[in-house]
Chain A
Amino acid sequence: MILAVVEKEFRMFFRYPLRVISSILVGIVFLLQFVYFGQAVLGGRYSALLEASTGMGDYPTYALIGYVLWWVSVSPMEAYVWGVRRELQRGTFETNVLSPSRLTGLLFGLALSWLLMDSALMAVVFALGAALFDIPVTIPLLLKSLPAIIASLVAFLGFGFIFAGLVMLLKNIGPFAQIFEFAMLFLSGVFFPLAVMPDWVISLSKLFPLTHSVNIVRTLFAGGGYSDVGSSLLWLLALIPLYWGIGYLLFRWAERTTRVIGYGGY
């Protein structure tokens, strides 16, 4: 059933090549803006200050890793918010709810589809970014980073259920979700080191899986190993059940309430 949802979403997305191309272009344009802006502020590609605080001094590599991981991490939330909203607008949401498949399974399939689609698009953006900024990337390095990336995405897949519940209940929560997504961009050290932030922000940032996955992948790209990022790894593993637990409980409450007021549409 999850595969059926994935197949349906892929068909609808990749049926329009222009949409795929424009998504990649949007990804590239934002990346270029951030990288060139960062380099302009730092006065060049390399920053000793950045290296001292994060262990990685090459800004394009630093930004590319953060940016690609942020984009992919928010895609489950995007799926739950915009994907479910689209189903509500289409009128197909109730048709899905009516089936004997579990709603959580259908929504998970939706989020997984968007995650996979965004991962495919971001793989292209990452490859283009790496080529453009001459970033050395090897397949063993990518494979080594995969467990951390997957752990982070698993946490976000669970967390996104909160948004799925809220969108069923409140319908239009897109702007709220976007505030959260952009807050994560700043609070996870995607484009600048968290060391420049106040202590309470640094503490808060630990609650975002992205903070830890970005830190792990950057360390690996800088030549380090998992043993150097034990604390981030532990945080990441602890956040998975926490995010799934909170997400699932809030979703169930929202689902029960929605059955009282009606799934409805727009």
Chain B
Amino acid sequence: MWAVEAEDLRKSYPKKIPLPFRRVEWVEAVRGISFRVRRGELFGLLGPNGAGKTTTIKMLTTLLEPSGGTARILGLDVRRNAREIRRRINLVAEGERTLYWRLSAYENLKYFARIYYVPKDEERERIERLLKLVGLWERRNDLVMNFSRGMKQRLAIAKALINDPEVLFLDEPTLGLDVQSAIFVREFIRRLVDEDGKTVLLTTHYMAEAERLCDRIAIIDHGKIIALDTPKGLKKLVREEETIEIRAKNIEPEKMSSSPFKMAVIERNPETGVLRLRAQVDEEELPKLVEWLVRRGVKVLSVERREPTLEDVFIKLTGRGLRD
């Protein structure tokens, strides 16, 4: 049995609230995606903002009604078996405001333990174990409002484990975290899969995160899956000799959008004005690309061949970068 199955899953949002007798226009957010996640697998949905990742996760966690297609979690249909699914999954939602800031860490977990029907005789032990696991046991009586962003995220993960879920969904789990907290969260997620055998489905728009963490990745763009494979398999889509990294100055982003080349800005240094661009061009195209840049007043500082990354896969498949 698969942990997660999505078959031609679709979601459209109304532009206005669909009241009776009111005509509303609908906007497609997810346009028929299909994938399967094995038990004990760490699966990533990678895509830019607005690609449909959060909508997909909300349909899979029964928070949103799909407009079409089917989705099953642990063999259970998300439309018909929502309550049973909710017992067996949990979600770390995006953002830091998923906890009660005016309650302490312990009180938060106690509340969620109760609404998840954790047996009373296990409640205390489970809360203690989880708080120790995320390194917050010593701060258990502090109000969440006094926690740092990283601590709040660690507590949100502990909260999501309160019902010992078989499948854990994480929506942008490291968004806005400092480097140290992000490393802790990533290692913690990996351990959940490797040591506890949990199935994890996470969304991210951080390439490196997806590459390092996930067993398999689905790249999603404009509500569709455009590639699905292991990180290694995805990178094979891009030939090494085609991957170019250019460091340059004096680039006006609006001029770049009309580029006939598969190219994207992947890093900007606001202090020096230096930009790093990744491009997918072969030997013949490379001089043309450099010439095209120079004609637009761009000061090219260096051109190098680089090992392909997932960013290059995305550029190759869509012709633009994840941040564009």
Q: A residues near B, CB below 8 A?
A: 1, 3-5, 7-8, 11-12, 15, 90-92, 94-102, 106, 169-170, 256-257, 259-263, 265
A260 touches B111 (CB 8 A): no
A170 touches B102 (CB 8 A): no
- B93 to chain A: which residues have CB within 8 Å? 91, 94-95
Contacts between the two chains (Cβ within 8 Å), count: 88
Tell yes or no: B288 within 8 A of A by CB: no
**Cα(A170)–Cα(B17), bound, Å:** 8
A1 touches B14 (CB 8 A): no
A259 touches B65 (CB 8 A): yes
**Cα(A259)–Cα(B61), bound, Å:** 12
> Which B residues, 143 to 179, have Cβ-Cβ distances below 8 Å to chain A?
159, 163
Partner pick for A90 among B13, B14, B91, B101, CB 8 A cutoff: B101
**Cα(A95)–Cα(B112), bound, Å:** 9
- A102 to chain B: which residues have CB within 8 Å? 83
Known contacts A11-B103, A257-B17, A262-B13: A92-B97 contact under CB 8 Å: yes
B100 touches A4 (CB 8 A): no
Most chain A beta-carbon neighbours within 10 Å: one of B83, B87, B111: B111
Q: A4-B111, A8-B103, A260-B64 are in contact. List 17 more A-B contacts (CB 8 A).
A: A1-B115, A3-B114, A4-B114, A11-B102, A11-B103, A11-B107, A12-B103, A91-B95, A91-B98, A95-B99, A95-B159, A100-B87, A100-B115, A256-B65, A259-B63, A261-B13, A262-B64
Tell yes or no: B58 within 8 A of A by CB: yes
- The majority secondary structure among interface residues of chain A is helix
Tell yes or no: B184 within 8 A of A by CB: no
B65 touches A91 (CB 8 A): no
- A91 to chain B: which residues have CB within 8 Å? 93, 95, 97-98
Interchain nearest-CB distance for B5 vs A (Å)? 20
Partner pick for A98 among B86, B95, B103, CB 8 A cutoff: B86
Tell yes or no: B116 within 8 A of A by CB: yes
Interchain nearest-CB distance for A154 vs B (Å)? 23
Interface size class of B (residues with CB under 8 A): 35 or more
Known contacts A1-B114, A90-B97, A260-B14: A100-B103 contact under CB 8 Å: no
Interchain nearest-CB distance for A165 vs B (Å)? 12
A96 touches B115 (CB 8 A): yes
- A97 to chain B: which residues have CB within 8 Å? 63
A-B contact pairs, 20 of them (CB 8 A): A1-B114, A1-B115, A1-B117, A4-B110, A4-B111, A4-B114, A12-B100, A92-B98, A92-B99, A94-B93, A95-B91, A98-B90, A99-B112, A100-B86, A100-B87, A100-B115, A101-B115, A260-B64, A260-B65, A261-B14
- B163 to chain A: which residues have CB within 8 Å? 100
